[in-house]
Each structure stands twice: as C-alpha cells, then as structure tokens.
Chain A
C-alpha cells in the first residue's frame, strides 16, 4: 500500500514534463529552419557576401567582412541540424529557449548571406536604422510597462503614438520643433488621462477603452490630414531634429553610428529607459507603483492611493508614447501621413511582454523588432527574389513568433487588467 511507495526511489522515472514537450517542439522548429536553409539559402552559385562595417567618412575604418556564401550556409545547416536533433533527443529538455534563440540568429545570418551573395551591403547602416526604428516601438513598450505595472492594460498606445506624431507635425510646423515636441508629449498625457478616467474611475473595460482611443485618433488624424493638410501644406511641414554626434564615442566603429550619431529622440529614449528602471525598482514611489499592480488591496490598506497611482502612471505612459510618436514626424520625416504608426504601438506592447514588463527588456525586444523592420527595408533594396510584400511582414512575423514563444512563460503583474473596487 501507500507505505511501500514512499520507500521506493523516485529517480530515473520517465515523466511527461512540459519541458520535454517544449524541447520536442523546439527541435522540430530548428530542423525545419535547417531544411529551409539547405533548400533555399545554401543554393547559391558562388559569390561572396560583402558586409561593410564602416563608411568612407568614418574616423577609424574597419575592413569589410567578406563571407563565402555557399560554405557559410552549409555550415549554418549543419549547426541548425545539430541543435535540432539535440533538442529532439534531449532527455532533460533543458536549454530549449537558448537553442531556439541561437537557431533563429543563425537562420537570419544565413538569410542575410544568401540575400547579399555577390553584392555588398552596409551592416553598420542597418544597425543604425535598427536603432532608429526601435525608438517608437521601445517608447510604446515603455508606455505599456508604466501602465501595466500599475495594472492598467493600455491597448490605446497605438493611437497615442499616432496622436503624438500628428501633434508633433502640426504644432512643429507652426511653432517650431521644440514646442511641437512638448505639445506631442502633452497630448499623449491627455490621452493617458482619458484612458485612466475611463478605466480607473468609470471601470470601462480596458480593452474597449483602448480600442476606442485608437479608432478616435486614427479617424481624426486621417480626416485632418486628407482634408486640411492637403489644402494647407505649410501645416504639415515641420523642422526635423538633426543628429547630434557625441564627441569621441561617435567615432567608435559600428557602435558609434548606432548609439552616438543620433538625434535627441534616441538619446531621450535611452535616458527614459534608464530613468524608468531606476524609478520602478529603486525608489519609494516605484515600489508603490508595483504594489498597486501586484496587490492593490494590500497597497490600499497601507494607505497608498491606488486610484491616484494608476492615474499618474497611465498619464506618464501616455506622455512617453506621445514622445515616441513625435519621433516619427519631428525626428524623421517632418510630415504626417495617414496611419503612419502602422501598428508600432501594438508591436510595442509585444516588446513589453517579451521584455517581461521591464523597461530594459522592452528596449531589447524593441531592438529585435527594429532589426526585423530595417532588415526588410534593406532587403527590398538588395532585390532578393522574395516579394517585398512578404519582406514587409517580417516585423509582424517576428512579433508572432516571439509572443507565442514567450507569453506563457513570463509573468505579468498579478492584478494586470483588473479594475480595483474599493470595499
């Protein structure tokens, strides 16, 4: 009976663990990637892929990176196959995430080499573009972190980004770029306040309130841009913030152009991520914010005003998103186009999840999405046989893969999405 069972050793049992199931799936994905690499990317007729690491203007130039396409990709096939078989056969199921990340990196490298074979391609330029494209996504993600850490789901970030872009263009055209930027931040904060009022005070469903903001902003800005901006072009012609080179640091090869030859938006984003990290995890008010997101009732009984904390952080999130949106107009092109955010707010939310509700994590995830985004741009220029429409899907496919792979495992703030009702 029961007593004998207790005495028996419990090691060496074959158990159906979720790690093992995960490992099998990972193995299958890796083998599939190996197959694609072998059938498509490795089928190149000679030719080297040339990656330029420096530009002619750089102070310290690095030599070009020359990769023989065929051999490189066969090596990639071999590594992918090895990783896949190892995961498939694994008895412990350990290392699945690591192998998957490594596998995707190799797969993308193989893709790049295949697409560049016989041509030349500026790697540094792509990394710089990665940073630029990551900024609005990272700001969307940071806005998400700020509001979800106090348990408010902010689907409206997409709309708030768009409102920031629009306000930046309009006010920037009239009153100059600095005032345009401030106006964009204030409008973002205003939408944050509207969302907070709807979901915190009136307990409107958080998803619906966010969707309403998205639709409202999209409708309004599209109307104004098609009816007003087309007539009065001077309203949509804002001065753009120029890049500021940081002395010395900007001369470092590869890293310099990516981080230190950018405009104030990129620097501002990096500073905000650092400040938010310090604020959330090392200050008293950050502790209050996190307690409200995890256990609002506990916070309430300890005299923390749950509603006020939620308002403040959702508004701060809105301001961050307004800043990120303004980047699209004041930091890049100087003019507003219909729906120019094009889903970056939603990708920002994915970055927040991938980054485990941490500002630095969200930035890292945003860089991955930014990479996918700039990759598709550059690939279109290289004229690969893949239709550009498919390439344009890259950031969204990256989102799906990342979110599907990570969502079940990362832990959101315990009270996320739940309204707090005082007793």
Chain B
C-alpha cells in the first residue's frame, strides 16, 4: 500500500503546525522522518491516523484520495500507529490488549480469549516476535511492550506502520532487536515510517530520509548522501556542535560517598540493592541503565525525598542518610529531577515563583511572614537571562514555555547559588538540540568549577559524552564501571552491561 500526503496544512489558531507537507510512503520501504520536538511530527501523525482533519491538502491511498473523520479511520484504512507512549492497559494481559476494541466473542457477549491467544501466537510466528499472550503488560520490559503495540496494529491488518520515537525507551540491545523486526516487516511488504531525532539510527534503518523543521519538509535525501552533521544542521537550521567541550579530568577530594545503600519501593521490593560508590570534586559520574533499574529511587534518596532502608550516604565525611531535603539543599545539593513536570516545576506558577521554589524561605526573599516580591523578581529576571530561558516575561506561567525552556528554568534555579553537588536525572530528555547543547555546557561548567556531578540518563550517548566515570545499574545493582579506574569506555560493552550481561 502506498500513501501520499499532498500539501497538508494544519493550523491550531494562530499556530501553523504543518505547512504544505508533501510526503510519500511506499510499500516495502522504511521512510525516516527526522525532526526536533515541536517540528510538527506528531501533528502529521495525528492527521494520518484520522485524529486531526487537515485544513488544506489531501491524503491519497493507492491513487485514491481519502478523507478521515475520526480516530478509528486511519487504522480502518490500514494505517497503524505505534505511539511513543505506549497505549497499553498495564493491568490487562497481552492478548486482552491486542484484541481490545475488535474482540472475538462467544455467546452472551463473552470474550473469546482462546481465539485471541491463538491469533497473537500466529502473528508472533509470522514476524518472529516471541511474546507470551498471557503475560500482564505491567510485568513486561518496555522492549516487549513495544512488540505488543506492533502486534496490535498487525492484528488490525495494518499495511502501513508509523513509529513515533520508537527507540527512546529501549536499550541498545533492544534497539538491535527492534531493527530486526522492522526489517522483517519491510520484507513482508509493509510500508514503514520511522520518526526520530536520533541521527545515527535514521542513517542505519531508513531507505529514504525526509527532514521536517518548523512544520515544513526542508529536505529529502538517501542515507548515503549526507553525514550526521549535515543532517543535524538541516534539522536544527543552523550549525551545531555535537561534541561536548571539557577540561582534562583532574578529580579532587571525595564529596559524596554512598555505602551499601539499599532502597525499597512502596511494596518492599528492592529498588536499589546494596550499592556503593563515590563522587569527587571536579568529576562527572554517569549512571547508565535502562529505566526502571533503580536509578530513580537512587536519585530521590540522594536528594532526600525517598526513605533509605539500609546503608549510608555521606557528604564531606558527614553522615546525611536521614537529613531532610532542605538541609541537603542548604549544604549545596542541586537536584534536576527526572520528571520536571511532576517534581521540578509548578506549571501554573510564573517563572518568578518557580525560580524561588527551593529558596522562598530565605531571608533574601521574605520578611517575616510576607514575601519580598521585588527581590524575587529581580533574582528571577537575572537568572532567566543568564540561563537563556526564552520567555516574553518572568511573569509568564510555566505551561506557556516549551519543554526546553522549562528545563533551562529548572537548571537556572538549581544553579542559582553556590552548589557543591549537582544531581541531574535525564537532564535533556525530550529537549531540542539547542537546549541540549546549552545544558551540557552548564553541567560541564559546574564540574570545572569544582562541583561533583552525578548524571543519570538512559541516553547512552549523553552519558558517554559527559561522564568521566560511568557506572551501569541493572536490577538495582551497580554491575559494571567504565572510565577512570574501570574498564575502557566502549559503547557496545556498556550496552551489554545495561542489558544485564556479565562482562
């Protein structure tokens, strides 16, 4: 099945999300769609799935123009979507999720799960997917959950599969497996669209590349024709620097020392299992690992917002295992939380208010029971400017800012004083190249100024680019160390360790 988008334009009020987009999707081919967040990729997806109706232009399937009126129309026409955030019900089984909405039924409206299981197994065999139809989604690793999403669209007999940032949540090994599946689908004659901002992946898997910027297609090429730097510049629209500049590694004294740390989740299962490590001044320690292997709990425990079940955390030689988050903050801890919307900012507050969330009680900003808003505003304006937070004014609420500017605001707040230890969890997740460059340079600046820096990220390239030492976490334990004093930094080895292989 071939699909053509002709001159698709979609506006939301004043904002033009897509402007005259032309696109060709062909059977047996992988189309790579490269673009930053906010370039209009998801709008285009939603037009294709029938969720949005375009203001101008048309969708042509096998030479015939079609019109989509609702979310179900895309899939009925054979266009299947694999969303970045999986559309799976965690407490249902694989089979239940696959058949949801198109269930085989027996008498009295009863669910025929036996048939459903059989059909899941058949799709499994055809494409080599290997998914247990009776497993509960919440017990499956994300790589397998993604396969369930693929089975879901195949079950609905889709001929076109659109993947939105499919590798964002996968380990390097899972990415390899995923590419195998993509190739199997391609060989079976399916048309595939691969949406991403990761340059090397698109170069590896795509047969044809389209670059989307500010709602328009700004370039088309074959993988061999352009280098990753050239593609990045097409995507961002200006020259970019993919390397991180940093001074030579010269670690100082140990600042943060973690010994035998054990952290439990709410249900008493082990999140962090007997972990020991230390971070020195002038040093960046990166923690690599697939999400859900204890990094979140570790970061929260270090920041003082998660109970420690065993072991100790010391800072400058003092035991701080049970001290409060505020006390740690006063010692010079800075914490960039992994989910800025949940734990980093109050979206309905202004930039000025958000900027003092961690220091509003300080004498500088309050007199007795009342806030000194002049001082707050002055401080906020100074740091918003210093950290390149692009906003019409500091009285703008956070929900009007892009993700990149929100994150820069968090970084500005956390660094707007004399810090000692910087804990950054996924500091650049979901950000555009420009903001990533900026935040990386700020983290490096903190390191060169004498801070100890701990970075947690599931982006292996980021961890490797920034860190002096890399610890790999798997199932709550530190299973390998790379860089100074450990194994030589090797992307493949780190990927293997992340997947739990013993090196």
- A284 near B72 with CB under 8 A, answer no
B479 at the interface (CB under 8 A from A): yes
Which chain B residues in 462-502 approach chain A with CB under 8 Å?
Answer: 471, 477-479, 481, 485-486
Chain B: CB-nearest residue to A283: B109
| Interface flags, B44-77, vs A, CB<8A=1, else 0 | 0010010100000000000000000001100100
Q: Are B87 and A13 in contact (CB under 8 A)?
A: no
Closest A residue by C-beta to B278: A1
Q: B299-314 CB contact bits vs A (8 Å, 1 = yes)?
A: 0000000011110000
| Complex interface: chain B residues within 8 A of A19 (CB) | 268
- Shortest distance between the CB of B256 and any CB in chain A (Å): 13
| B88, B108, B478, B486: the one within 8 Å of A295 (CB) | B88
Which residue of A is nearest B261, CB measured? Answer: A5
Q: Are B111 and A423 in contact (CB under 8 A)?
A: no
| A295-B90, A303-B72, A303-B101 known; A5+B276 contact, CB < 8 A | yes
**Chain A 1-15 near chain B by CB (<8 Å), digits 1 or 0:** 111111010100111
| Distance, CA A8 to CA B477, complexed state (A) | 11
B100 within 8 A of A: yes
Query: What is the chain A residue whose CB lies nearest that of B477?
Result: A6
Separation of A6 and B477 alpha carbons in the complex (Å):
7
A197 within 8 A of B: no
Q: How far is the CB of A406 from chain B (nearest CB, A)?
A: 15
Minimum C-beta distance from B275 to chain A (A): 6
Residue of B nearest to A17 (CB): B268
CB pair A291 B307 closer than 8 Å = no
Q: With an 8 A cutoff between CB atoms, is A227 at the interface?
A: no
**A residues near B310, Cβ cutoff 8 Å:** 13-16
Whether, in the assembled complex, A57 has its beta carbon less than 8 Å from a beta carbon of chain B, the answer is no
B111 and A300 within 8 A (CB): no
B111 to A16, Cβ gap below 8 A? no
Interface residues on A, range: 35 or more
- Shortest Cβ distance from A298 into B: residue: B87
Pairwise interchain contact A301-B481, C-beta atoms closer than 8 A: no
A407 CB → nearest B CB, Å:
13
Which of A1, A4, A298 contacts B100 (CB under 8 A)? A298
Check if B262 is an interface residue, CB within 8 A of chain A.
yes
Q: Give A18 to B263 CA distance when docked, in angstroms.
A: 11
A411 nearest CB neighbor, chain B only = B91
Instruction: List residues of chain B with CB within 8 A of the CB of A18.
Output: 264, 266, 268
* Contact B479–A6 (Cβ < 8 Å): yes
User: How many residue pairs at the A-B interface have CB separations less than 8 Å?
Assistant: 113
A126 interface residue (CB < 8 Å to B)? no
Instruction: Indicate whether B446 reaches chain A with its CB closer than 8 angstroms.
Output: no
Partner of A294, one of B91, B264, B485: B91
Contacts of A283 in B (CB 8 A): 105, 108-111
A242 within 8 A of B: no
Residue numbers in A under 8 Å from B83 (CB-CB): 301
Contact B105 A297 (CB under 8 A): no
Contacts of A294 in B (CB 8 A): 89-92
Q: Is the interface of A mostly helix, strand, loop or mixed?
A: helix
CB nearest to B476 among chain A residues: A10
Q: Scan residues 1-41 of chain A and give those whose CB is less than 8 A from a CB of chain B.
A: 1-6, 8, 10, 13-19
A405-423 CB contacts (< 8 Å) to partner B: 414, 423
Residues of A within 8 A of B479 (CB): 6
CB-based nearest A residue for B478: A2
Closest Cβ of chain A: how far from B153's Cβ, in Å? 10
Known contacts A6-B477, A294-B90; is-contact A284 B109 (Cβ 8 Å): yes
Evaluate contact between B274 and A4: CB separation under 8 angstroms: no
What are the residues of chain A within 8 A of B51 when measuring CB–CB?
423
Query: Is B437 in contact with chain A by the CB < 8 A criterion?
Result: no
Residues of chain A lying within 8 A (CB to CB) of residue B71: 300-301, 303
Give per-residue flags for A173-198: 1 if the beta carbon is below 8 A from chain B beta carbons, else 0: 00000000000000000000000000
Which residues of B273-318 are within 8 A (CB) of A?
273-278, 307-310
B338 at interface, CB cutoff 8 A: no
Whether B103 sits at the interface, judged by CB under 8 Å, is yes
For the complex, what is the distance from the CA of A301 to the CA of B71, rounded to whole Å? 6
Q: Is B96 an interface residue (CB 8 A)?
A: yes
| Contact of B443 with A by CB under 8 A | no
In the complex, chain B residues whose CB is within 8 Å of the CB of A17: 264, 268, 309
Residues of B contacting A286 with CB < 8 Å? 111
Q: How far is the CB of B167 from chain A (nearest CB, A)?
A: 21
Is A391 interfacial (CB-CB < 8 Å)?
no
**Residue B81 at the A interface, CB < 8 A?**
yes
Whether, in the assembled complex, A285 has its beta carbon less than 8 Å from a beta carbon of chain B, the answer is yes
Contact A2 B309 (CB under 8 A): no
Interface residues of B in 24-56 (CB under 8 A from A): 46, 49, 51
Sample (12) of A-B pairs whose CB atoms are under 8 Å apart: A1-B276, A5-B478, A13-B310, A16-B309, A18-B268, A287-B111, A288-B100, A291-B92, A291-B100, A295-B87, A297-B87, A298-B89
Chain B interface (Cβ < 8 Å from any Cβ of A): 46, 49, 51, 71-72, 75, 81, 83, 87-92, 96, 100-103, 105, 108-111, 259-260, 262, 264, 266, 268, 273-278, 307-310, 471, 477-479, 481, 485-486
**Given A15-B310, A291-B92, A414-B90, 17 new contacts (CB under 8 A):** A2-B471, A5-B276, A6-B478, A10-B274, A14-B310, A16-B309, A17-B268, A282-B110, A283-B105, A287-B96, A288-B101, A294-B90, A297-B87, A300-B71, A301-B83, A302-B72, A302-B87
Q: Which 5 A-B pairs have the closest CB atoms?
A: A302-B101, A5-B276, A303-B72, A298-B87, A15-B309
